Structure 1
Amino acid sequence: MNVQVKPAVDIRLHQQRPPLDARPLEKRVGLIILATDHTTEPDFRRMVASERIGVYVARIPYANPTTPENLRKMQPALSEGAGLILPDEGLDAVCYSCTSASVVIGDAEIEAAIRGAKPGVPVVTPPLAAVNGLKVLGARRISVLTPYTVETSRPMAAYFAAHGFDIASFTCLGFDDDREMARLKPASLVDLAREAMAPDAEALFISCTALRSAAVVPEIESAIGRPVVTSNLATAWNCLRVCGDQAPRPEWGRLMEMGLRLR
């Protein structure tokens, strides 16, 4: 069998190094999510990512059921997760996308853990973003809807009360697996929100980054006649504003028309 030997390819090295942009995209949002998360990435892809803003994701270990004890176990992984997002490069914001864990671990502890890997970066958590959003909307008396058990909902109620909110009603659905929470039909969330809304509440907060609630915020607002803040809507809004994007997006609800009062 005759094998033909092809001549070697002449590879030419270009003599001048092409110019580089300072960054591939102008702004960078780091997103730390649970290993089991189905919802945050699609939501941030729709609401945050653009030709100007890149969203870069790291997943950290998490095991159901969703209990305060299991949620606290994520804290040691936060620094490592943050460090895996574009190592040795700066970020414009880092969002830890778990509402209930942020409540039980604490916003300050989460901020310290993330800044251990990314010094000086603005840190966004869902409950604090929701607090900021509700205040910007002028709401003080609120209704709350969560997919959690009563045990996991109690710290959430205490968190919002500690931030000065008067809770008119608080409804939980009894789920303890975030993968099942992600499978709740968005249309059913509209009906559940209508039922959870107290007549005298000024706004509704729907907790949990697993819920596919952000996409139906305008529908819920139309049904209840008051502003709605969800976990992923609040963090997306917060990250956009931190990145200097002030463009109103009314198709995502009233919050996306508001500015953020930065500390």
Structure 2
Amino acid sequence: MTDVLGWRKVFGVLGPSTNTVVQPDFDDLRVEGVTNHYSRIIVQNPTALSDADFLRGTDAIDAATHDAVRAVMTCAPDYLVLGMSAVTFYGGAEGAAKWTKAVEDVAGTRLCTGALSLIEAFKAYGGIRRIAVLSPYFPVANEQVGRFMSDYGIEMVRDTPLRCQSWLHIARVTPAQLRQTILDLDGDDIDAIVQVGTNLSMMRLAAAAETFLQKPVIAINTATYWNALRQNGIQDRKPGFGRLMAEF
């Protein structure tokens, strides 16, 4: 017997308790027969004033992740979707794979991460080798994003870390701020603009930016949920969220 509402797939979604964007984003991307069941990774809202503070904050998220996994597994989801991104880039491809395996071992099921979802998105678009990256992070975390990308043959040509002062502050960055950042990052020397940081609300802006920049602009929440669907054989298209959801 299958779940009455999640008759195609039941997704367990993991995200920091301070994150107010990823849950509504993923619900907007949800398709018929798929349900999302959010499990909060309990953390406090730190004040990030430096690279070291940012790393301590993400370490706290990392340390609390397995408890959130155990909690969501009580509803027996078919698959896990990770609604946080920073730690999935740490340590390059090898570090990311080790981190993912540790979570999958606790869960006993597969996990979709933002980092690998971006790689899958690049394959879907085709021809993406040079990117610019926008994040709410501090520079030390953007460096990890660049390292991860280089392991997959992707060059991070330039990047903008917004240095948000707390986890809650990330959700308060306005579309106007993000639009200007995108314009500043753009150039003929890059194939795509990529946004990381799941509490940064950019799905709809990224979709709009693809039309006026005429190149892929990829929001990590869109890429993650798109990849989760595709990894489970669900090919539904959904307009309004960029080419990734509408075409691939």
| In 2, Cα distance between equivalents of 1:92 and 1:216 | 31
Match runs of 1:18-29 below 5 Å: 21-24=1-4, 25-26=6-7, 27-29=9-11
- Give the AA of the match of 1:57: Y
**C-alpha RMSD of the superposition:** 1.9
In the alignment, structure 1 residue 125 sits paired with structure 2 residue 105: no
In the other structure, the counterpart of 2:199 is 210
For residues 214 and 32 of structure 2, the distance between their equivalents in structure 1, rounded to whole angstroms, comes to 34
Unpaired runs of at least 5, structure 2: none
**Aligned-residue offset at 1:157:** 1.6
Q: What is the TM-score when the length of structure 2 is the normalising length? A: 0.87
1:45, CA displacement in angstroms?
A: 0.8
In the alignment, residue 251 of structure 1 is paired with which amino acid? G
Deviates more, 1:183-192 or 1:29-38: 183-192
* Equivalent residue letter for 1:94: L
2:158/2:185 contact within 8 Å kept: yes
**Contiguous gaps of at least 5 residues in structure 1:** 1-20
Establish whether residue 93 from structure 1 lines up as the match of residue 82 from structure 2.
no
Partner of 2:122: 134
Superposition pairs of residues 1-263 of structure 1, within 5 angstroms: 21-24=1-4, 25-26=6-7, 27-48=9-30, 50-63=31-44, 64=46, 65=48, 67-87=54-74, 89=76, 91-104=77-90, 106-119=95-108, 121-138=109-126, 139-259=128-248
Normalising by structure 1, what TM-score?
Answer: 0.82
Q: What letter is aligned with 1:182?
A: A
Higher share of residues assigned helix: 2
Q: CA deviation at 1:86?
A: 4.4
**Which residue identity lines up with residue 61 of structure 2 in the other structure?**
M
Corresponding residue pairs, total: 236
Partners of 1:245 and 1:190 in 2: CA distance:
31
Measured against aligned partners, the alpha-carbon deviations of 1:192-237 in whole angstroms (never above 9, x if no partner) come to 2111123221111011101110122221112211011111011111
Task: State the 4+ residue runs in structure 1 displaced beyond 4 angstroms.
Answer: none
CA distance in structure 1 between the aligned counterparts of 2:247 and 2:56, rounded to whole angstroms = 36
Deviation at 1:78, TM superposition (A): 2.3
